[in-house]
Amino acid sequence: MRKIAGFMMAGLIFILGACSSEMDELEDFYMEFQETLEIEEEIRDISSDYNALENERGQIQDNLSTAERGELTEMGETLEANTEERLGLIRAEEAVMAESEEKAAEAAEGIDDIDNDEYRRHAEGLITAADERYDVHGDLMGVFERVLNKEMGLFEHLQSEELSQDTIDDRINTLNEEYEALTEKQDEFATATERLNEVKNEVYSIFAE
């Protein structure tokens, strides 16, 4: 009986050791993937600067309809400079997300090292959710650039000697349509981010079991 009990204990130790090793493999992957989130922390400052410029743009643009003809050139110059700064911030965010995506790809290379099938599926699901989010973010940045370039066209026109109210109205109407498209894409990105967080929490919950 003692010998049987000894075999049972040895088997239990082996199983626990195997589980621990498999958990370590998942944890190694997860910790490397977490570095993508650390990289994206830079976007907070970028977003803060962008929002400040956006507020400035909104205040000036609200005054366009009541501005005197002589004021429009200076307002157009200010708005053009504002837009150039915002374009720079958009490109800075694109660079951060490209770095994040590169780190996610590096983390994905470790999935083959995860022996446990269930753990590997969780890791693959996390990478899939992250890739979908990167794709949506790329689309979002494309819409942002399109909107800002159209804004630039309007603000350059404000400095033109051939300025006309009809042209301004047409450009503003076009911009309003672009703003709607931008809002839709922002909502899509928010949904993709929520999905990524859900999958990330599913992986994290394994460590708490």
Higher per-residue pLDDT: 67 or 103: 103
- Cβ neighbours for 149, distance < 8 A, ≥ 6 positions apart: 87
Could you report the per-residue pLDDT of 160-204, keeping only the tens digit for each?
877 777 887 888 888 888 999 999 999 999 999 999 999 999 988
Percent of the chain at pLDDT exceeding 90: 63
Helix (H, G, I), strand (E, B) or coil at 133: helix
101 alpha-carbon distance from chain centroid: 10
DSSP letter, residue 67 = -
Res 158 pLDDT > 50 = yes
Note the pLDDT of residue 20. Answer: 60
Higher per-residue pLDDT: 2 or 134: 134
Res 19 pLDDT > 70 = no
- Say how far apart CA 95 and CA 97 lie, in whole Å: 5
Whole-model pTM: value is 0.86
- Say how far apart CA 164 and CA 169 lie, in whole Å: 9
